[in-house]
Amino acid sequence: MNLLHILSLARKEFLALMRDKRSRIIIIVPPIIQLFIFGFAATYDLNDVPVAVYNEDSGGASRELLARIEGSPHFSILHRIDSDAEIAPLIDERKVLLVIRLGQRFSADLQRGDPAPLQLVIDGRNSNTAMTALNYLRGVVLDFNREWQREHGLTGPPVKLEMRAWYNENLQSRWFIVPGIIGSLILVVTLLVTALSVAREREQGTFDQLLVTPLRPVEILIGKAIPGIVIGLLEATLIIVLMVWFFEVPLRGSIPALYLGILLFLIATVGVGLMISSIAVTQQQAILGAFLFIVPAVILSGFTTPIANMPEVVQWLTYLDPLRYFLVIVRGVTLEGDGFALLFHQFWPMAIIGAATLAMAGWLFRHRMY
């Protein structure tokens, strides 16, 4: 292996990427803009859920309960209605997510010690939003109950839950999602940079010229892999800095372990990219191949929905997804404070994926001629 060969090919690859101003921009600017937009957008937490209230009760208790709901940052009461007929249009047209109905005898029942029903109608079109909103409301109602029982000398339930969340103490969605965005953005950029590198030369006919130079396939492989890895490393660093400074996600674990993870993830991604690139005959096929890999890789990585909820067959498929392992590493290092030992089982599968795909790409360089 000749280092000079590799470096000069890598240099040529960098020039091919960076020479054109537009492709320079497309590699650098969109990931950063996307980090900001998605970082703010992607959250399961709900604020100001639009609520309509149908209160038939004139007592003080219903007013107190409604004041608590209004006071919560999660809900805002937008409509007050006074007939059942108004419920359906509000929900159907998505003007409100939730309608709260308090019957005529709400306060009276409460005073007498009878259970007072709080009737709710909720839009289940997005079942997760509906469930989250109901959970928030349950919290408000439990607080109200506890206070009511204390003020009226009633005994509460004999058993109390004391819940505590580890690692993400306030259960902020953002702490979970932003580290995931890093993985997805790096995946997209690196894969695009590498997936087109061989296909473009194939389409333009310069790859044959490259093959007849003294460069050996291994050297071509490494030379083609270097730009993706370097760009990925720089971009990852930039995004991590922004994540910690701007989104205030903690960085509790070992930074060297994080960087080992990034490096292995990049090698695996570059391997997949080069493999797609050497299978493809045209750039269009390469882009399609990259697409067909990126989309499932992101959606099945555990980025937004847990892998544990998937059927077993799909869970097996996720073992082929380098992003799956990388997300455990990023979240482990940022939130859980992990070091090398706990992350070992995430490192080696990425190394295997990288080695297998790179070997495949190198073999295809020589053997896919047409």
Partner 1 sequence: MSARLRRLWGMIRKESLQILRDPSSISIAFIMPVILLLLFGYGVSLDAKNIPLGIVVEQPDTATQSLAGAFDRSEFFRPQRFGAIQEAQQALAERRIDGILWLRNDFSSRLLSGNEAPIGVFVNGVDSNQANITKGYIQGTWLAWLQHFAAAQGRDLDLPVAMEQRVWFNPALNSRLFLVPGLIAIIMTMIGSLLTAMVVAREWERGTMEALMVTPLHMGEMLAGKLIPYFALGMGGMLLSVAMALVLFGVPLLSPFWLLMLCSALFMLVSLAIGLLISIVTRNQFLAGQVALVVSFLPSFLLSGFLFDLHSMPEWVQTITYLVPARYFVAILQTLFLAGPVWPVVLANAGAMLLMLAVLSALVVKKSYKRLD
Interaction of residue 128 with partner 1, rule CB under 8 A? yes
Instruction: List binders of partner 1 among 174-193 (CB under 8 A).
Output: 175-176, 184, 188, 192
Which range binds partner 1 by CB under 8 A, 205-213, 214-222, 299-307, 347-355?
Answer: 299-307
Least distance in angstroms from the C-beta of 206 to partner 1? 14
Helix/strand/coil (H, E, C) string of 222-271? HHHHHHHHHHHHHHHHHHHHHHHHCCCCCCCCCHHHHHHHHHHHHHHHHH
Instruction: List binders of partner 1 among 75-94 (CB under 8 A).
Output: 91-94
Least distance in angstroms from the C-beta of 336 to partner 1? 6
Interaction of residue 247 with partner 1, rule CB under 8 A? no
Which of 305, 319, 344, 369 is the binder for partner 1 (CB under 8 A)?
Answer: 305
Query: How many Cα neighbours within 13 Å face the side chain of 352?
Result: 9
Instruction: List binders of partner 1 among 330-369 (CB under 8 A).
Output: 331, 335-336, 342
What size, in residues, is the chain? 370
Whether the CB-CB separation of 295 and 187 falls below 8 Å is answered with no
Which of 118, 218, 242, 251 is the binder for partner 1 (CB under 8 A)?
Answer: 118
Beta-carbon contacts of 213 under 8 Å, excluding residues fewer than 6 positions away, are none
Which of 10, 52, 121, 231 is the binder for partner 1 (CB under 8 A)?
Answer: 121
Which range binds partner 1 by CB under 8 A, 112-120, 209-217, 218-226, 250-258?
Answer: 112-120
Q: Select from 5, 364, 367 the least CA-distant residue to 214.
A: 5
Number of residues that bind partner 1 (CB under 8 A): 109
Least distance in angstroms from the C-beta of 366 to partner 1? 24
Rg (CA), the chain: 28
CA angle 41, 68, 50 (to 5 degrees): 40
User: Whose structure tokens read 């306030």?
Assistant: 170
Interaction of residue 19 with partner 1, rule CB under 8 A? no
| Run of H or E residues at 77 | strand 75-80
Calculate the dihedral angle through the C-alpha atoms of 78, 55, 103, 76, rounding to the nearest 10 degrees: 30
Interaction of residue 168 with partner 1, rule CB under 8 A? yes
Alpha-carbon distance of 314 to 251, in angstroms, equals 31
Interaction of residue 34 with partner 1, rule CB under 8 A? yes
Instruction: Between 3 and 313, name the residue whose CB sits nearer to partner 1.
Output: 313
User: Whose structure tokens read 């190198």?
Assistant: 362
Instruction: Between 195 and 264, name the residue whose CB sits nearer to partner 1.
Output: 195
Alpha-carbon distance of 346 to 326, in angstroms, equals 7
Which of 11, 15, 41, 256 is the binder for partner 1 (CB under 8 A)?
Answer: 41
Interaction of residue 212 with partner 1, rule CB under 8 A? no
Which of 2, 15, 40, 366 is the binder for partner 1 (CB under 8 A)?
Answer: 40
Instruction: List binders of partner 1 among 130-159 (CB under 8 A).
Output: 130-132, 134-135, 137-138, 141, 144-145, 148-149, 154-159
Interaction of residue 72 with partner 1, rule CB under 8 A? no
Interaction of residue 214 with partner 1, rule CB under 8 A? no
Whether the CB-CB separation of 242 and 28 falls below 8 Å is answered with no
Interaction of residue 165 with partner 1, rule CB under 8 A? yes
Sign of CA dihedral 10, 16, 19, 22: negative
Question: φ, ψ for residue 237 (rounded to 5)?
Answer: -60, -45
Interaction of residue 22 with partner 1, rule CB under 8 A? yes
